[in-house]
Amino acid sequence: MRRNRFLPVLLWIACFAPAALGQGFTAMTICNAGTVSVDAYVMLEGKLTEKSIAPADCARLPAPTPTPAPAAAPAAPARVGPDLLVESVIQLLKAKTPETRIMQVIQADGKPHPLTGAERARLEDSGASENLMDALEHPKPAK
């Protein structure tokens, strides 16, 4: 009865490769003690590395380079203190400035200003219309 010579390599891979593929795995050495060439495969996170190993030889299989996770978009910096444009709009409202002129100021700034609940309440108390508050949050470019 003929004995299969590369069975020990397959058994080694089946038994020890899972431990070698744990955290920090960078490469794995596989030796072929048989008399025929064997092909070794390592798959990590869907990436495949393969190597043909001649009889009585060893090969080092580097870990496949995993695809890096996409970088998260940087978070918008938290606003510290009151929004100066909102404060300016409140002062303009208290000075009875026409809404069309206030809209021009908001459009000239051109940046969105998300309103907090407290800012929205202060604007409403100062007489701001819904259109004015919407313009602060979603400014339209000046024409």
DSSP collapsed to 3 states, 78-143: CCCCCCHHHHHHHHHHHCCCCHHHHHHHHHHHCCCCCCCHHHHHHHHHCCCCHHHHHHHHCCCCCC
The verdict on residue 2 lying in a domain is no
Whole-angstrom distance, CA of residue 49 vs CA of residue 65: 9
88 & 123 share domain:
yes
Strand (E) or helix (H) holding 11: helix 7-20
The pLDDT, as a whole number, for residue 15 is 45
Q: Side chain identity at 25, as an amino acid letter? A: F
Both tokens of 62, joined, read 């580097």
Instruction: Tell me, yes or no, if the pTM score tops 0.85.
Output: no
Strand (E) or helix (H) holding 42: strand 38-44
Whole-angstrom distance, CA of residue 105 vs CA of residue 86: 11
State yes or no: pLDDT of 102 exceeds 80: yes
State yes or no: pLDDT of 136 exceeds 50: yes
Q: What is the mean pLDDT of residues 114-141?
A: 90
The verdict on residue 108 lying in a domain is yes
The verdict on residue 1 lying in a domain is no
The verdict on residue 69 lying in a domain is no
Residue 45 belongs to domain spanning: 7-62
11 & 58 share domain:
yes
The verdict on residue 93 lying in a domain is yes
Q: Count up the domains in the chain and report the number.
A: 2
Judging by DSSP bridges, how do beta strands 57-62 and 47-53 pair with one another?
unpaired
51 & 92 share domain:
no
The verdict on residue 123 lying in a domain is yes
Looking at per-residue confidence, does 62 or 84 come out higher? 84
Q: Side chain identity at 131, as an amino acid letter? A: N
Both tokens of 38, joined, read 């064997």
58 & 88 share domain:
no
Looking at per-residue confidence, does 100 or 40 come out higher? 100
Average per-residue pLDDT in the chain? 76
The verdict on residue 50 lying in a domain is yes
57 & 97 share domain:
no
22 & 56 share domain:
yes
The verdict on residue 107 lying in a domain is yes
Both tokens of 124, joined, read 């409403």
pLDDT tens-place string over residues 69-79:
677 767 666 66
Looking at per-residue confidence, does 128 or 6 come out higher? 128
92 & 132 share domain:
yes
50 & 88 share domain:
no
Looking at per-residue confidence, does 39 or 73 come out higher? 39
Q: What is the mean pLDDT of residues 114-138?
A: 92
117, β-bridge pairs: none
